């Protein structure tokens, strides 16, 4: 077995921490070659001391100076790279085998694409990158021969349930539809009128998963499931109509695949991201992830409900953006990023998040995502419209 050299983009985040936890269990298999962080430089310095990467990437020179200061006296000093160029350089570095793409939001698109274009084994947590650039991303995977493995627990489950991932198209695999499970988030049972008063801390207190704040808010609005619907369409060549969202509060079934012969395959496990991370790191082998064995007797029952799109309009907005295609998913994603940021900053109510996004979607002409420039132009326009909406209200 050869040693895999890893680059972890977004090492200071929640997925970064889970990745490094799994990696630390298998020093004979994995070596940390490069790490990136953004604002949490103390955490990045701790990780550099512990994992001794050859490179560390930070946003700018001031952060590089700060990190260098924090690492003074360390046994091994990484070379510190800055900016988007630094992220792209570590993602595409010739000595890197595997890239964990775990930056949150649109900021992850260029470095993740750099890893794809360099033909790496890419472990994709940064769903926003794929949602934004869809066809361009998948074309780049095919052109470079990169290996794309989903980290999102639902997509990792679907990947595991698809008998033959190499056969193109759902129909040729004999798949009728994909059942994408959702916990329902912290407000699954909250009446519509109480959603108006929801605070950022309440939204971030997810009942089943401990995650970064942006994805926690997305889970609470169900936009996360909407982004995942779009993600599933690209990863598995599905149409939006072939993906059905199922609320499953226990979060034990991570998704299911329904075959034409009536077989339905599911992947189960305790809700812990180390399972999909370990799966993708070792695929097609299996390694210990540190996750405790599933105890079905303790769980007792598994429940399922239809999502309530009246209380959670983000799911509908995402489906409509998926159906419109082109740059619409990039517009949706950018509007959502601005809305979530404003909500977390206390400048926007919870129920205003879908209102802002819908207004932005209505304000743009759907154009083709011909190239990355078109995608970023759509992203820019959406952010501008979203900020204008915020200023007007």
Annotated binding site: 12-15, 39, 126-128, 152-154, 183, 206, 212, 219, 224-225, 228
Stretch touching Mg ion by CB under 5 A, among 80-88, 151-159, 204-212, 250-258 = 151-159
> CB 200 → Mg ion: shortest distance, Å?
20
| # chain residues binding Mg ion, by CB under 5 A | 3
Stretch touching Mg ion by CB under 5 A, among 87-95, 150-158, 259-267, 283-291 = 150-158
- Contact between 272 and ligand NDP per CB under 6 A: no
In contact, 56 and 35? CB cutoff 8 Å: yes
What does the alpha-carbon distance between residue 380 and residue 327 come to, in Å, rounded to a whole number? 11
Question: DSSP readout, 344-362?
Answer: HTTSS-TTHHHHHHHHHHH
Tell me whether residue 86 or residue 186 sits nearer to Mg ion (CB atom).
186
Task: For residue 185, give the 3-state DSSP assignment.
Answer: coil
With CB cut-offs between 5 and 8 Å by kind, which of Mg ion, ligand NDP, none does residue 37 bind?
ligand NDP
Q: Which of 152, 218, 272, 352 binds Mg ion (CB under 5 A)?
A: 152
Site for ligand NDP in 65-104 (CB under 6 A): 102-104
In the numeric block, which tokens belong to residue 134?
A: 């869809």
In the numeric block, which tokens belong to residue 112?
A: 């993740």
What string marks each residue from 173 to 212 as x (binds ligand NDP by CB under 6 A) or -? ------------------------------------x-xx
> CB 25 → ligand NDP: shortest distance, Å?
18
> CB 360 → ligand NDP: shortest distance, Å?
20
**Partners of 243 in beta bridges:** 178
Report the side by side order of strands in the sheet with 79-82. 79-82, 55-58, 30-36, 4-9, 98-101, 121-124, 147-150
> CB 263 → ligand NDP: shortest distance, Å?
27
- Contact between 127 and ligand NDP per CB under 6 A: yes
Q: By beta-carbon distance, which residue lies closest to ligand NDP?
A: 13
| Cα torsion angle, 67, 68, 69, 72, sign | positive
> CB 230 → ligand NDP: shortest distance, Å?
12
Which of 135, 113, 111, 122 lies closest to 37 in space, CA to CA? 111
Site for Mg ion in 318-347 (CB under 5 A): none
Total Cβ atoms within 10 A of residue 56 = 29
Q: Which of 30, 32, 64, 128 binds ligand NDP (CB under 6 A)?
A: 128
Give how far Cα 121 sits from Cα of 147, 283, 287, Å: 5, 10, 17
Tell me whether residue 209 or residue 283 sits nearer to Mg ion (CB atom).
209
- Contact between 231 and Mg ion per CB under 5 A: no
Q: Give the helix/strand (H/E) hosting 62.
A: helix 61-70
Site for ligand NDP in 107-126 (CB under 6 A): 107, 125-126
Tell me whether residue 173 or residue 274 sits nearer to ligand NDP (CB atom).
274
Long-range contacts, stretch 315-318, CB < 8 angstroms, 24+ apart = 315/222, 315/223, 315/225, 315/226, 315/229, 315/245, 317/223, 317/226, 317/354, 317/357, 317/358, 317/361, 318/223, 318/225, 318/226, 318/227, 318/229, 318/230
Maximum separation of any 2 CA atoms in the chain, in Å:
63
Site for ligand NDP in 22-41 (CB under 6 A): 37-40
In this structure, the strands spanning 264-268 and 253-259 are antiparallel
Task: For residue 168, give the 3-state DSSP assignment.
Answer: coil
| # chain residues binding ligand NDP, by CB under 6 A | 26
With CB cut-offs between 5 and 8 Å by kind, which of ligand NDP, Mg ion, none does residue 38 bind?
ligand NDP
Tell me whether residue 136 or residue 173 sits nearer to ligand NDP (CB atom).
136
Which residue positions form the known binding site for 1-deoxy-D-xylulose 5-phosphate?
Answer: 127, 153-154, 183, 206, 219, 224-225, 228
With CB cut-offs between 5 and 8 Å by kind, which of Mg ion, ligand NDP, none does residue 40 bind?
ligand NDP
With CB cut-offs between 5 and 8 Å by kind, which of ligand NDP, Mg ion, none does residue 133 bind?
none
Which of 182, 126, 168 lies closest to 149 in space, CA to CA? 126
> CB 373 → ligand NDP: shortest distance, Å?
20
Total Cβ atoms within 10 A of residue 364 = 16
Site residues, ligand NDP (CB under 6 A): 10-16, 37-40, 102-104, 107, 125-128, 152, 209, 211-212, 214-215, 273
């Amino acid at each position: 077995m050869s040693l895999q050299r890893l680059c972890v983009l977004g090492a200071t985040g929640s997925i970064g921490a889970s990745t490094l936890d799994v990696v630390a269990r298998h020093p004979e298999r994995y070596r940390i070659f490069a790490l990136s962080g953004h604002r949490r430089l103390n955490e990045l310095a701790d990780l550099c001391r512990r994992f001794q990467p050859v490179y560390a990437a930070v946003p700018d020179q001031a952060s590089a100076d700060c990190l260098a200061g924090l690492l003074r006296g360390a046994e091994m000093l990484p070379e510190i790279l800055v900016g988007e160029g630094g992220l792209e350089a570590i993602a595409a570095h010739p000595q890197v085998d595997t890239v964990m793409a775990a930056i949150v939001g649109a900021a992850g698109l260029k470095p993740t694409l750099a890893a794809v274009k360099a033909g790496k084994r890419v472990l994709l947590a940064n769903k926003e990158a794929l949602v934004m650039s869809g066809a361009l991303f998948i074309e780049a995977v095919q052109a470079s021969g990169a290996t794309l493995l989903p980290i999102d627990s639902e997509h990792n489950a679907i990947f595991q349930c698809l008998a033959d991932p190499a056969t193109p198209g759902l129909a040729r695999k004999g798949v009728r539809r994909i059942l994408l499970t959702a916990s329902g988030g912290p407000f699954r049972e909250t009446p519509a009128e109480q959603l108006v008063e929801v605070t950022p801390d309440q939204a971030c207190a997810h009942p089943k998963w401990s995650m970064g704040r942006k994805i926690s808010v997305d889970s609470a609005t169900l936009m996360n499931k909407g982004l995942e619907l779009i993600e599933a369409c690209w990863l598995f060549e599905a149409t939006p109509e072939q993906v059905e969202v199922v609320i499953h509060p226990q979060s034990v079934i991570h998704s299911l695949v329904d075959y034409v012969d009536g077989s339905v395959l599911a992947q189960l496990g305790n809700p812990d991201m180390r399972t999909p991370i370990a799966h993708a790191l070792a695929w097609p082998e299996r390694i210990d992830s540190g996750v405790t064995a599933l105890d079905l007797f303790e769980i007792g029952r598994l429940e399922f409900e239809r999502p309530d799109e009246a209380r959670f309009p983000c799911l509908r907005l995402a489906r409509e953006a998926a159906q419109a295609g082109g740059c619409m998913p990039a517009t949706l994603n950018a509007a959502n990023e601005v809305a979530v940021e404003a909500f977390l900053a206390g400048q926007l109510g919870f129920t205003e998040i879908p209102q802002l996004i819908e207004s932005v979607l209505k304000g743009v002409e759907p154009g083709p995502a011909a190239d990355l420039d078109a995608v970023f132009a759509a992203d820019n326009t959406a952010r501008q419209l979203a900020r204008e909406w915020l200023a007007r209200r």
